[in-house]
Structures are given as structure tokens and as C-alpha cells.
Amino acid sequence: MTTITKMEGKPAQSGRMLAAIVTFLLIFIVLMAIGLMNAPTMGGPKVMASAATYLAEVQRTALPFMGAVAILAIVLGLVYARAVYRVWPNHRRRQNMIMGYLFLSPYLLITLTFTVGVILFAFYISFTNYDIFTSPQWTGLSNYAKAFRGFSDPTQKDFIQSLYNVFWYSFIVVTVQTSLAILLAVLLNTPMKAKQFFRTIFYAPSVTSSVVITLIFMWLYLKTGFINFFLAKFFAVLGMHWQNINWLNDPRGLIQLIVTPFGVHIPSAQWYLKGPSITWMAVMFQNIFTTVPTFMLMFLAALQDVNPALYEAAAIDGANGWQQFRKITLPLLRPIILLVVVLGTIGTFQTFDQVYLATKGGPLGTSLTPAYIIFREALGYQGPIQMGYAAAMAFILAVLIFIFSYIQRRYISNETQLY
């Protein structure tokens, strides 16, 4: 690449330089403007009254942040200026580059302002004490330490408990939804009548808003709701009595339910031994119901790519249906399984709407999730607004998701290489 540009580098030397400088300035100005819009200052009517008051406030509190953005802008500006400098003499590539970025620019600007800029803001805020209305106070890593103090101080267990909940959630939901999705996809892939009809029916839960589904499930889960009604009828047929359960307000844990008949009592102080609560498993069930169809569709698409000749050959060799599934279908689906597992993990770690609508984190914190706690602290539902603490927890969650996705990628995709 460099050799080509060097060969063509003779004409329009000054034009190149000018273009590079313009690029640098443009990038610098745009990034600084975006930084300015996302500067971590206090809010409130006095600051937001006019552009001048806002700038004065930025000058007062956000200079370190603007400095960091400026360094970033200079580095990016230099990188792009260099690229432009190299490409400029080649007419076709110059044209391509300009057109490419021109078409990208609307989306790029919006993303930079409302996503990247906000993330930078949040990252800065996570090291400060910030309640929106007063200037952020630099507190170093104390917000991150605060998130984990539940290990030593049982009164501050909320975030730890939410992580504990979400690990169970992720483990159970991802396992069940992936298996179910494969099963449904394989079933729908076999020659059968009214295939389109079943595909539509199975997919319906995924196109329904999760808010609507949550509201419907809240009715189903009532103590006098349909689920208890059907279970009672079912057990009555077997001659047994079904004790109605208030599905969305029962903190008894899975492990607790298993060991209680053996006379083992798990005290409340050891909440982490109790396992996921009935409420939490009810939310899991509902989540599985909503997400399985989406992933089923992915598996179905992947199954279309499997060469039917493989099954024929296997059948001739005497492999039965199960063996074909084990030795052909599953290995060939591996890349999609990776995708589904990773997407499922990310989705479950970020669970929010079901909790917000149905349980509000209760009972006894057994349905708290990190995303819900972040929301609660950021908006000050139970105490003062703690934007900095919320931002710190958001970054901890992001790091956890990254680690888990990375591990899964290592484990599942390594074996994918074989096929």
C-alpha cells in the first residue's frame, strides 16, 4: 500500500498536505464538539439556562474530561490525516474514501454523539460522586469498591445478590433456550404438513413486545391465576393436592425447596445457598418463552445450509436418526450455537424489563438484576441519585459480559475449526 502511494506521490504535493490538515482539523473539531455536548457537568436550570452558562460550567468542572477528549481527538485526527495524505494522489481511491465517509457521516455522527460520547461520559462519571445537580466530585475507584462491599458487609448485598441471581438466570435460561431452540428448529425442518403455519405460530412470541408478554404472564402467575388452576386440576387427576403458589412473590429458593424436606434449614443470612427463587424461575420461564423462537429461526436458517447428501450417506451407512443428529446436525450447527449462546448470555446479563414490570427486584431481592439496580440507583428510587455508582456498576457488568463472551468463544469456536 505504501509503495503504491509513494510511486504516485509526486504531483499535487501541496494539495495532499492541505487535505491532510483539513481532515485533521475537521476530526478534531467534530470530536471536541461531541465531547463538549457530553461534558460531565452538573445539570439543573441555572447551568442549562444558556450556552454561556453551560460553557462556564464546562470550564469550571469538565476541563480534565475535555483534555482527555482532546488527546483522543488529536490521535484520531493524526491517524486519519495520515490515511488521507496517503490516499489523496490516487484519484479513484480518494473518491472512494470521500464518498464512503460522506455516506457514513450521518450515522457516524449520531453514534459518536449519542453512544460513544455518552459512554465516555459514563466512564468519567464512574470515578466520581455525581447526583446530576451538583458538580461531579472525583472519588477515584471508590464506586467500584462500593459495588463489591457486599462481600464484607451483609447490609450492602444488593449488587452481589444481583450478580448471583443473574448467573443462575444466565445458566438456566441459556441452556434451556438453546436446547429448545435446536429441538424446535430440527422438528420444523423435517418434512411435515402445515410447516409454514407452525413456523408462524412458534415465532409469534418473539415479535410480541416483551412488555405485553410480561403483563400477560403477571396475570397467569397470580395465586388465583391460570397456571395454578391447571396445576391444581392436573394434580387432582393424579389424586394429589396442589398448594397454590404466588409465582411472582415467593422468595423460596430452588436448593432450599430441595433440601427442606430432609430437615435442612438454610437461614436468611446464607441467602446465597438458597438458589434461584420461585419468582426468579417464573421470570426465567417467561423469558425462555419469549426468546426461544428468535433463536429457533437462526437454527432453522443454519439447517437450510446443511447438505442433505450427508444425511443420505449416513443413512446408507446405517446411522439412525439420533446418530445423524449427534454426528452431523450438531457439529454443523456449532457456529450458530456459539452465536446463540453468546447472544443469550449477553441478553440474560442485561435483563431489565421483566424485573422492572413484574417484580421490582423483590421478594427479598431474589429477582434483582444488575441492570435494574443500575436504573434504581441512577434515578434515586430509594435514596439520593447516584449516577457515579450506577455508571461504575454498568462498567463492571460490561466487563463481566465481555469475559463470558470471550470464554464461550474460546471454548465453542475452537472446536468449530475442525469442521
218 is a site residue for other proteins (CB under 8 A): yes
Comparing CA positions, the residue from 346, 353, 332 lying closest to residue 402 is 346
Smallest distance from the beta carbon of 69 to other proteins, in angstroms? 21
> Which three cell numbers mark 107?
450515522
Distances (CA, A) of 133 to 43, 358, 381: 5, 31, 16
Q: Tell me if 45 contacts other proteins by CB under 8 A.
A: yes
User: Please, which residues bridge with residue 128 across strands?
Assistant: 138
Start-to-end CA span in the chain (Å): 34
Among candidate residues 416, 210, 418, the one with its CA nearest the CA of residue 218 = 210
Stretch that binds other proteins, among 9-17, 37-45, 76-84, 284-292 (CB under 8 A): 37-45
The residue among 64, 63, 78, 104 whose CA lies nearest residue 26 is 78
| Position among 68, 131, 231, 412 found at the interface with other proteins (CB under 8 A) | 131
Cβ proximity to other proteins, 212 vs 237, nearer residue:
212
The C-alpha atoms of residue 167 and residue 175 are separated, in whole angstroms, by 12
Least gap, CB of 159 to other proteins (angstroms): 13
Site for other proteins in 320-339 (CB under 8 A): none
State yes or no: residue 1 binds other proteins (CB under 8 A).
no
Single residue of 51, 192, 238, 269 touching other proteins by CB under 8 A: 269
Q: Which residue has the cell 490538515?
A: 21
The type of residue at 318 is G
Residue 175 phi/psi, 5-degree rounding, is -60, -55
Q: Which of 90, 113, 142, 246 binds other proteins (CB under 8 A)?
A: 246
Task: Determine which residue in the list 9, 43, 205, 347 makes contact with other proteins, applying CB under 8 A.
Answer: 43
Tell the burial category of 265 from Cβ atoms under 10 Å away from its Cβ (0-12, 13-18, 19+).
exposed
Q: Does 243 bind other proteins (CB under 8 A)?
A: no
What's the Cα-to-Cα distance from 326 to each of 69, 82, 182, 295, 304, rounded to whole Å?
A: 53, 53, 12, 19, 17
DSSP state at residue 358 = I
Residue from 215, 313, 330, 407 that binds other proteins (CB under 8 A)? 215
Q: Which of 156, 350, 405, 416 binds other proteins (CB under 8 A)?
A: 156
User: Binding string to other proteins for residues 55 to 74, with x set by CB under 8 A, is what?
Assistant: --------------------
Query: Does 270 participate in binding other proteins (rule CB under 8 A)?
Result: no
Site map (CB under 8 A) of other proteins, residues 358-387, x = contact: -----xxx-------------xxxxxxx--
- Does position 89 interact with other proteins (CB under 8 A)? The reply is no
Half-sphere exposure of 256 (CA within 13 A, CB side): 18
**Residue of 1, 62, 76 whose CA lies nearest to 31:** 76
| Interface with other proteins, residue 106, by CB under 8 A | no
Stretch of residues binding other proteins (CB under 8 A), selected from 21-29, 42-50, 76-84, 340-348: 42-50
DSSP secondary structure code for residue 221 in this structure: T
As measured in angstroms, the least distance from the Cβ of 370 to other proteins is 18
Minimum CB distance to other proteins smaller for 59 or for 270: 270
Least distance in angstroms from the C-beta of 171 to other proteins: 25
CA–CA distance, 183 with 222 (Å, rounded to integer): 30
Q: Which residues sit at the interface with other proteins, rule CB under 8 A?
A: 42-49, 131-134, 153-156, 209, 211, 215, 218, 222-224, 244, 246, 249, 251-252, 267-269, 357, 363-365, 379-385
